[in-house]
A and B are shown apart, each in its own frame.
Chain A
Amino acid sequence: NAGVTQTPKFQVLKTGQSMTLQCAQDMNHNSMYWYRQDPGMGLRLIYYSASEGTTDKGEVPNGYNVSRLNKREFSLRLESAAPSQTSVYFCASSAPVRGRDNEQFFGPGTRLTVL
């Protein structure tokens, strides 16, 4: 099993450009998440999807959109990139057991720089 995979690993954008970060998991997990991590800080939740067909805002959703394409894939889109979105982006997934929260499995991250 590959676990959680993310593409691309690195990306440089100019202000105003758009791009989509891709995430896929092969663990048959219902829930998927997008986080951003800024230098010297913990992760902050951008959006999450509790199950296929549903998405909800997290702590810092402004400037982002998401799509839960199917159970495996959850993409994050920046419509008009800004320097403040320079960060490392992590995707994660989890499989709650009997309605109780469980551990989350993280991808390797995408390092995004917006000039």
Chain B
Amino acid sequence: SQQGEEDPQALSIQEGENATMNCSYKTSINNLQWYRQNSGRGLVHLILIRSNEREKHSGRLRVTLDTSKKSSSLLITASRAADTASYFCATIAGGTSYGKLTFGQGTILTVHP
């Protein structure tokens, strides 16, 4: 079964607005990663946050991690039409789950020009 659950399932915004996606998970983790998938393409890694980190930035992306609530959020600021894609969170569980990414179901983001 999939560990991550993402919210919302779909998000539609105007160019220039911010987009926030949330991810919840069930077990302890080593790290949490966010990926983007353009329609019909493979996944592209966006950002990785480790379990001992609380916030991380990369360009227009801001990721937060709250291990006490087992949740993470991805904020995309000043969105562009090119940000239209599906966004997935993925976790690597603690212990011996080395390399085993467990994906959420994803959020479909549509940015209107």
Q: Which residues of A contact B48 (CB under 8 A)?
A: 102-103
Q: Which residues of A contact B40 (CB under 8 A)?
A: 109
Distance, CA A109 to CA B31, complexed state (A): 25
B35, B40, B101: residue with the most chain A Cβ atoms closer than 10 Å: B101
Q: Which residues of B contact A102 (CB under 8 A)?
A: 48
> Are B98 and A42 in contact, CB atoms less than 8 angstroms apart?
no
Distance, CA A94 to CA B105, complexed state (A): 22
How many chain A residues touch B (Cβ–Cβ < 8 Å)? 28
A74 at the interface (CB under 8 A from B): no
SS of B interface (majority): strand
Distance, CA A42 to CA B35, complexed state (A): 11
> Are B42 and A44 in contact, CB atoms less than 8 angstroms apart?
no
- One of A33, A42, A96 near B105 (C-beta < 8 A): A42
The 7 A-B residue pairs with the shortest CB-CB distance, nearest first, are A42-B103, A106-B42, A103-B45, A106-B43, A43-B103, A108-B42, A101-B92
Some 6 contacts from A to B, beta carbons below 8 A apart, are A31-B99, A41-B106, A45-B101, A59-B102, A101-B99, A104-B43
What is A's interface to B at a CB cutoff of 8 Å?
4, 31, 33, 35, 40-45, 48, 50, 58-59, 90, 92, 94, 96, 100-109
